[in-house]
Amino acid sequence: MKMFKNGLGEGSTFACCHPAVNLMYFVFTIGITMFSTGPAFLAETLVFSWTYSILLNGKKAIKTNIIFTVPVLIIMTVINTFFTHNGATVLFYLNYGRITLEALLYGLAAAVLLSSVIVWFSCFNVIMSSDKLIYFFGKIAPVLGLTLSMIFRFIPLLKSRYKEISMGQRCMGRHQKGSYLSKLRQTAKEVSILISWSLEAAIETSDSMEARGYGLPGRTSFHLFKLTQTDKMLLAAMGLCGGIAAIGCALGKTSIYYYPVVVLTNWDLMTVVTFIAYTALLMIPLMIDIIGELKWQQYELKI
Amino acid sequence: MATIRVKDLNFTYPTAVKPALEDVTFSVEQSEFIVVCGKSGCGKSTLLRHLKKNLMPYGRLEGEVLYNGKAIADLDDRLNASEIGFVHQNPDNQIVTDKVWHELAFGLESLGLDNRTIKRRVAEMASFFDIQTWFRKNVSELSGGQKQLLNLASIMVMQPKVLILDEPTSQLDPIAASEFLKTIYRINRELGTTIIISEHRLEELFTMADKVMVIDKGKIVDFDEPWNIGNVLAGEGENDRHPMFYGMPSIMKIYSQCRGAGVPVYKRNDKEVSPLTIREGRLWLESFLNDKEEAAWAGGFDRKEDGDKSACEEVIKVKDLWFKYSKDSGDVLRGLNLSVRKGELFCLLGGNGAGKSTTLKAINGIIKPQRGSVKVDQSKVSMLPQNPQALFTEITVEEELLEALYYEKISDEEKIDKIEKMLALMEIEHLRKSHPYDLSGGEQQRLAMGKILLLNPEILLLDEPTKGLDPFFKITLAGVLHKLVASGVTIFMVSHDIEFCAEYADRCAMFFDGDVVSEGTPKEFFAGNSFYTTSANRIVRRWFPEGITWEEVAQWIEETWMK
């Protein structure tokens, strides 16, 4: 239980897998979530997304998840209920508009769907470090990967530069005194220094890039990731489960009709298979992380 | 065959009247170690930039620059990228990517190598430069010295045959700089890479160099072995000295001064050469001082010279100061006590990260210490930040200075008058229309200093003011500081530059572990230290412990010899 309290963060075992494994998981999970409106599937993805995000981020994830999803939940449900007049079961009339049970349920389902996607992305954020994103963009085109990498370099650089500028201005005795307007003036000045400084520095950066052969044809993209046997097995397992679930989703087994009346899931064989495959898929990283964490705890006990 | 051959090179920048380089002719053999020195703006950078294809400045060019017999401008891009490496001044600006390992791989990615090869080469280089421990770090977490080492490694990974470095250590503190230069030396000795490096810190480089090139006003003054350089620069006497004479290592200055006075010469392998290291300096002295008895420093000087100042009021008084940046971090200042009197040039020396800059911030009121008190009139304090660019907002030097007077309530004529005086004082009159960013590091430092001085501070705080300055301007800077001190300004300076502090400070203090551990006039201070002292002092301290500056030492040697 300790792991759920503190969160595994970037040290999670699943995060240490090859980025392709991570990406495949999130593509399947988020993709299928986005096209599934069936209550069973919605409930499943909601539960798993919350569980995994708490496992990764610790108990503080509960608070952030509530902050980000509850407003979405309320707003979407309310909007759909009051602005969509489809549906057979009328609850009441408002200004001659029909407020229906189906619209309310559909709004709720869509809201749950969207909020789970948001929570899934919070997991994605932890697992997909900047390195991995650069790796994928580098696979598409080396220049894209490099651009991303340069952005990640520039953000902390600009921050530290701005700090230095503020400090320099304070050294001159500026910054402390004055009204709101003069403070604004001072900030504008500091930003202007930051821009001209950075542009000037960028000339040298581009010199340094060109000096190291940037612009030559046939650029490659270097990375430090290794595709291990475990990664291959995981890819196969996820491909199988995710593939089945995706086919089920494409056949419409994961969704239900809300209009004109709600038709609940017909649990035929394919739906059951899809549900099982989808559950297995969602469970894979949780299992990996929990087993990995337990192994660590044992290892630490031995020492 | 010579790797690089420059023949009758003349170069003029588009808007300039005078050529930046005039009749430059020299050649560099394979695996040579060449040091290029000269005043700021003498044309060093312009020359070095001509040796790398994509950095060649735009302007009128005559003569030829050849690499392995082929004009540099016509080199194949792939060859240019991999065989000639170039390291710039600023460590931050050269880094492109966010991770150390990615930066190392950058050049190889450009060359289109596959993942396996890159990994192997990166591994080799990381081991050579000993950067395995921070291999996976973000570049923003590195120190300045590490960043510059990373820049060097990410060029070396492309296995260049020639490495060109343009003042690579000017932004580094002395320890990191020395570390960096040692690495350069290793590259030259162990990998046989040809090195061409321009620098102001010559003390160490002279012992490494095969040849030294002295440039002045775009012309080569001398290109010779390091031990012969002194002869040319010293000229025929004190007034005939070349400005770059003052940039030479102390021992060479002492030697050429003494040689003129008839002191016996130093011989290595029966050939007269100038000693280059402290060891050689001592051997030289021992060769004729062998019967001289050793003296130990007895301590205690007459304090007449600063007698008048000790009576002055204390304008900065720091008492029992404790400070840490966050609750969990260690204390940076531990019960610091310190006082500076009015009209004094006070230097605080000490190692890296000892908390010297924190002390400055505490005095300036930027940080609030947890315990203790700082007594200082904040309204009279101005501080020069380490990075002059943090102050520049305008598009010309003149306007930059005018900006400093923005809040002053005086007439425009008075402002112009003040600016003119400041331009003259800082010797930047010829640059008045230039853009602040087009100035060299030393010139920017001067402009920033001028800007701060226009605020009329009574207490001036300086953070590493000699960083990146050429030795000649250091003398000018000392003159400026002395003028200020004479007019009643108090200067509190934090520095790594032992030689500068020894020569010009009124009082020096050593900062260690959050407090001042020793303090005194430069004489008391350095004579009491045994390692942390000037190189001139280290040469003679066996016989003459109170000799601090090279002039004192040279004079003492002459006098002793006469007896």
Residues A141-186: tens digit of each pLDDT: 889 999 999 999 999 999 999 988 888 888 777 765 667 888 888 8
Asked if the ipTM is above 0.90, the reply is no
> A189 to chain B: which residues are within 8 Å by CB?
393
Q: Taking the CB of residue B41, how many other CB atoms lie within 10 A of it? A: 18
- Among B545, B541, B563, B537, smallest CA distance to B254 is for B537
Angle among Cα B196, B174, B495 to the nearest 5 degrees reads 135
Report how far residue B306's alpha carbon sits from residue B114's, in angstroms, rounded to the nearest whole number.
68
Report how far residue B331's alpha carbon sits from residue B174's, in angstroms, rounded to the nearest whole number.
24
**B58, B75, B93: which to substitute to probe chain A, counting the most A Cβ within 10 Å?**
B93
> B97 to chain A: which residues are within 8 Å by CB?
146, 149-150, 153
Kindly state the helix (H) or strand (E) to which residue B383 belongs, with its residue range: strand B381-384
Question: CB–CB of B232/B224 below 8 Å?
Answer: yes
For residues B465-484, average pLDDT:
84
> B379 to chain A: which residues are within 8 Å by CB?
173
For chain A, the C-alpha Rg in angstroms (whole number) is: 26
Q: B407: distance to nearest CA of chain A, Å?
A: 10
Interhelix angle B250-260/B278-289, nearest 10 degrees = 30
Pull the structure tokens for residue A114: 């969207």
> A160 to chain B: which residues are within 8 Å by CB?
140
Residues B488-529: tens digit of each pLDDT: 889 999 988 888 998 899 999 988 888 888 888 888 888 888
Q: What is the pLDDT of residue A181?
A: 84
Q: What is the pLDDT of residue B161?
A: 94
CB contact under 8 A, A168 and B92: no
Q: B513: distance to nearest CA of chain A, Å?
A: 25
Grade residue B470 by pLDDT with cuts at 50, 70 and 90: confident
Q: What is the pLDDT of residue B299?
A: 56
pLDDT above 70 (res B311): no
User: Could you tell me which chain A residue has the CA closest to the CA of B121?
Assistant: A222
> B82 to chain A: which residues are within 8 Å by CB?
213
Report how far residue B27's alpha carbon sits from residue B6's, in angstroms, rounded to the nearest whole number.
6
CB contact under 8 A, B382 and A173: yes
Q: A171: distance to nearest CA of chain B, Å?
A: 5
> A219 to chain B: which residues are within 8 Å by CB?
109-110, 112
Backbone angles phi, psi at A93, to 5 degrees: -105, 140
Interhelix angle B441-453/B471-486, nearest 10 degrees = 10
3-class DSSP state of B145: helix
Report how far residue B56's alpha carbon sits from residue B41's, in angstroms, rounded to the nearest whole number.
16
CB contact under 8 A, B94 and A204: yes
CB contact under 8 A, B389 and A160: no
CB contact under 8 A, A207 and B389: no
For residues B189-215, average pLDDT:
92
User: Could you tell me which chain B residue has the CA closest to the CA of A169?
Assistant: B391
Grade residue B444 by pLDDT with cuts at 50, 70 and 90: confident
pLDDT above 80 (res B563): no
Residues 6+ apart with CB under 8 A from A268: A253
C-alpha distances (whole Å) from B535 to each of B248, B267, B299 are 12, 21, 20
Grade residue B302 by pLDDT with cuts at 50, 70 and 90: very low
Range from A23-37, A151-165, B395-409 carrying the lowest mean pLDDT: B395-409
CB contact under 8 A, B94 and A215: no
Report how far residue A239's alpha carbon sits from residue A254's, in angstroms, rounded to the nearest whole number.
18
Q: A21: distance to nearest CA of chain B, Å?
A: 20
Residues B220-267: tens digit of each pLDDT: 989 999 988 888 887 777 777 887 888 888 899 898 888 877 788 888
Q: What is the pLDDT of residue B24?
A: 93
Question: CB–CB of B359/B494 below 8 Å?
Answer: yes
Q: How many residue contacts between A and B have a Cβ separation below 8 Å?
A: 156
Residues A59-110: tens digit of each pLDDT: 899 999 999 999 999 999 999 998 888 888 888 888 888 889 999 999 999 9
Q: What is the pLDDT of residue B473?
A: 80
Kindly state the helix (H) or strand (E) to which residue B321 belongs, with its residue range: strand B314-323
Q: A166: distance to nearest CA of chain B, Å?
A: 8
Q: A7: distance to nearest CA of chain B, Å?
A: 22
CB contact under 8 A, B110 and A219: yes
Closest Cβ–Cβ partner in B77, B88, B122 for A216: B77
User: Could you tell me which chain A residue has the CA closest to the CA of B95?
Assistant: A205
Q: What is the pLDDT of residue B294?
A: 67
Q: B140: distance to nearest CA of chain A, Å?
A: 7
Question: What percent of chain A shows pLDDT beyond 70?
Answer: 98
Q: A186: distance to nearest CA of chain B, Å?
A: 11
> A187 to chain B: which residues are within 8 Å by CB?
none
Closest Cβ–Cβ partner in B78, B102, B383 for A213: B78
CB contact under 8 A, A211 and B455: no
CB contact under 8 A, B455 and A172: yes
- Among B462, B468, B460, smallest CA distance to B439 is for B468
Closest Cβ–Cβ partner in B155, B158, B385 for A168: B385
In the numeric block, the tokens 């960043």 are attached to B147
In the numeric block, the tokens 């350095």 are attached to B526
CB contact under 8 A, B98 and A217: no
Full-model pTM:
0.87
Q: Taking the CB of residue A239, how many other CB atoms lie within 10 A of it? A: 14
Q: Could you tell me which residue, B428 or A120, shows the higher pLDDT?
A: A120
CB contact under 8 A, B99 and A167: no
Grade residue B50 by pLDDT with cuts at 50, 70 and 90: very high
Question: What percent of chain A shows pLDDT beyond 90?
Answer: 58
CB contact under 8 A, B99 and A157: no
CB contact under 8 A, B93 and A201: yes
Which residue blocks in A212-265 are alpha helix, DSSP H? Answer: 229-250
pLDDT above 70 (res B291): no
Pull the structure tokens for residue A10: 């970037």
User: Could you tell me which chain A residue has the CA closest to the CA of B156?
Assistant: A212
For residues B298-323, average pLDDT:
68
pLDDT above 80 (res B162): yes
Closest Cβ–Cβ partner in A150, A157, A170 for B92: A157
Grade residue B153 by pLDDT with cuts at 50, 70 and 90: very high
Question: CB–CB of B367/B432 below 8 Å?
Answer: no
Angle among Cα B374, B375, B381 to the nearest 5 degrees reads 95
Per DSSP bridges, beta strands B21-29 and B33-37 are unpaired
> B118 to chain A: which residues are within 8 Å by CB?
220, 222
Does the N-terminal peptide bond of residue B57 adopt cis geometry, omega within 30 degrees of 0? no
CB contact under 8 A, B99 and A146: no
For residues A112-116, average pLDDT:
95
Report how far residue A204's alpha carbon sits from residue B171's, in angstroms, rounded to the nearest whole number.
15
CB contact under 8 A, A201 and B106: no
In the numeric block, the tokens 């050529």 are attached to B19
Range from A205-214, B150-159, B436-445, B541-550 carrying the lowest mean pLDDT: B436-445
Per DSSP bridges, beta strands B459-463 and B490-495 are parallel
CB contact under 8 A, A146 and B113: no
Query: Quick one: DSSP state of residue A261?
Result: S
**A220, A221, A223, A225: which to substitute to probe chain B, counting the most B Cβ within 10 Å?**
A220
CB contact under 8 A, A219 and B106: no
Closest Cβ–Cβ partner in B90, B366, B389 for A204: B90
DSSP letters for A76-135: HHHHHHHH----S-EEEEETTEEEEHHHHHHHHHHHHHHHHHHHHHHHHHHHS-HHHHHH
Closest Cβ–Cβ partner in A131, A205, A209 for B99: A131
For residues A49-56, average pLDDT:
94
Grade residue B303 by pLDDT with cuts at 50, 70 and 90: very low
Q: What is the pLDDT of residue B308?
A: 52
Report how far residue B13's alpha carbon sits from residue B57's, in angstroms, rounded to the nearest whole number.
8
User: Could you tell me which chain A residue has the CA closest to the CA of B154?
Assistant: A212
Report how far residue B256's alpha carbon sits from residue B236's, in angstroms, rounded to the nearest whole number.
10
Report how far residue B53's alpha carbon sits from residue B36's, in angstroms, rounded to the nearest whole number.
19
> A170 to chain B: which residues are within 8 Å by CB?
364, 366
Residues 6+ apart with CB under 8 A from B418: B405, B454
- Among B536, B541, B542, B538, smallest CA distance to B554 is for B536
Angle among Cα A95, A99, A103 to the nearest 5 degrees reads 145
Q: What is the pLDDT of residue A269?
A: 92
Report how far residue B360's alpha carbon sits from residue B493's, in angstroms, rounded to the nearest whole number.
9
> A173 to chain B: which residues are within 8 Å by CB?
379, 381-382, 455
> B390 to chain A: which residues are within 8 Å by CB?
164-165, 167-169, 193, 197
